Amino acid sequence: MRNRLIQFAVLALVAVSAYGPATARVAGAVETSPSLSSIGPLTFAPDGTLYAADPQAATIFAIDLGASANGGAPGTASVAGIDQKIAALLGTAANEIAITDLAVHPKTRQTYLSVMRGTGTAAQPALLKLDGAGALSLVTMADMKFSQVTLPNPGRSQSIMDLAFANGRVIVAGLSNEEFASKLWSIAYPFTAADRGTSVEIFHGNHGRLETRSPIFSFVPYTVDGQPTLIAGYLCTPLVKIPMAALNPGTKLVGTTIAELGNRNRPIDMIVYKKDGKEFLLMSNTDRGVMKIPTATFGSEAPITAPVPTGTAGVKYETVASMTGIEQLDLLDATRTIVIAKGADGVKNLQIVILP
């Protein structure tokens, strides 16, 4: 998943800052040498602080990458067979690793990848960095400064599905073990403690009912009609807007379904970008390719509150035919995205793609 932090007007500044020091300062109760039992979604704050999710422990780590963030060539290069190269670096086979996310550093534009090595309970987490010369390296967390926060009442393996940093807060989507299982947490940074979170209910047009247990698989912070909002993707595939002001601890909210994008599908990743003066949401999926979705009607689209027998409804989209097998994506800069694409031969390639 992904550096999906806030609006992208700031991208014009990237070229100026990319070659400067990539320093960050972890706030709160600072320790050293973070120890993760698993690693999943990643995101960066604008200052370069890395937020890494440990779904197994239902914990978010804020990590100062220190000197390791400044090494190597700025930028990111395409790498064919990225899964094979990661496996070789970790001393295993490509079918023994899972790339769980990627995120682009906001200053160096280097790409960080979260990886699980092995399967089942024996799987071990790893963090890797890819630079502008195509050099892949293992990020050793020994002596790195960090702080952490643990979510209450986690819902097993789906405790954390996605996260983002916006307006000084870490937003986390996942499941709890409560009756209203689908949850969003808005956690102030510096970390103190995570609250009970906000329970989220949506109307799923393809299923013709309200749902409280389906998790948000991917989301992005976005401003709709001047209001900070989350645009969230669910299984089978409703697209929902959720006002960030409604994320109050211990409460319940009903998200506004603005699109049904097709059943038998799961969103994987999403970013927002601007092209030719217009803004778009780009969303990768398990079974319906990559969707390019105009954002102009997000504020005016009529809510979907009745069954949708036709499969799709609401906000329109187009399928990007040139982007196939996309499993992860993030913005590289104002005109390009970085993706991991699985080829017909099963090999995964990290590619730089012009935004459609």
- Quote the tokens at residue 238: 């409703």
For residue 45, being part of any structural domain is answered with: yes
Helix (H, G, I), strand (E, B), or coil: what is residue 94? helix
- Answer for the pair 249, 229: CB distance below 8 angstroms, yes or no: no
Q: What is the CA radius of gyration of the chain?
A: 19
- pLDDT of res. 6: 36
- Nearest-angstrom CA–CA distance, 131 and 152: 36
Q: How many structural domains is the chain composed of?
A: 1
- pLDDT tens by residue, the chain, 356 residues: 544 433 333 333 333 333 345 667 798 879 999 999 999 999 999 999 999 999 999 999 999 999 989 999 999 999 999 999 999 999 999 999 999 999 999 999 999 999 999 988 899 999 999 999 999 999 999 999 999 999 987 665 568 999 999 999 999 999 888 877 899 999 999 999 898 899 999 999 999 999 998 999 999 999 999 999 999 999 999 999 999 999 999 999 999 999 999 999 999 999 999 999 999 999 999 999 999 999 999 999 999 999 999 889 999 999 999 999 999 999 999 999 999 999 999 999 999 999 99
Helix (H, G, I), strand (E, B), or coil: what is residue 41? coil
For residue 213, being part of any structural domain is answered with: no
For residue 94, being part of any structural domain is answered with: yes
Q: How many CA atoms lie within 13 A of 308 on its CB side?
A: 23
Whole-prediction pTM:
0.92
- pLDDT of res. 222: 98
- Nearest-angstrom CA–CA distance, 115 and 268: 16
**Cis peptide preceding 190, ω within 30 of 0:** yes
Residue whose tokens read 């003066």 = 277
Neighbours of 320 (CB within 10 A): 18
For residue 144, being part of any structural domain is answered with: yes
Domain that holds residue 12: 1-150+334-356
- Nearest-angstrom CA–CA distance, 189 and 192: 8
Which of these, 196, 160, 199, lies nearest to 179 by C-alpha position?
199
- pLDDT of res. 244: 98
Convert the pLDDT of each residue in 49-104 to its tens digit.
Answer: 999 999 999 999 999 999 989 999 999 999 999 999 999 999 999 999 999 999 99
Which of these, 184, 85, 177, lies nearest to 138 by C-alpha position?
85
Convert the pLDDT of each residue in 151-196 to its tens digit.
Answer: 987 665 568 999 999 999 999 999 888 877 899 999 999 999 898 8
Residue whose tokens read 């992208």 = 8
For residue 111, being part of any structural domain is answered with: yes
- Answer for the pair 99, 123: CB distance below 8 angstroms, yes or no: no
- pLDDT of res. 29: 73
- Answer for the pair 98, 126: CB distance below 8 angstroms, yes or no: no
For residue 253, being part of any structural domain is answered with: no
For residue 81, being part of any structural domain is answered with: yes
- pLDDT of res. 268: 97
For residue 324, being part of any structural domain is answered with: no
- pLDDT of res. 22: 63
Which of these, 279, 285, 297, lies nearest to 355 by C-alpha position?
279
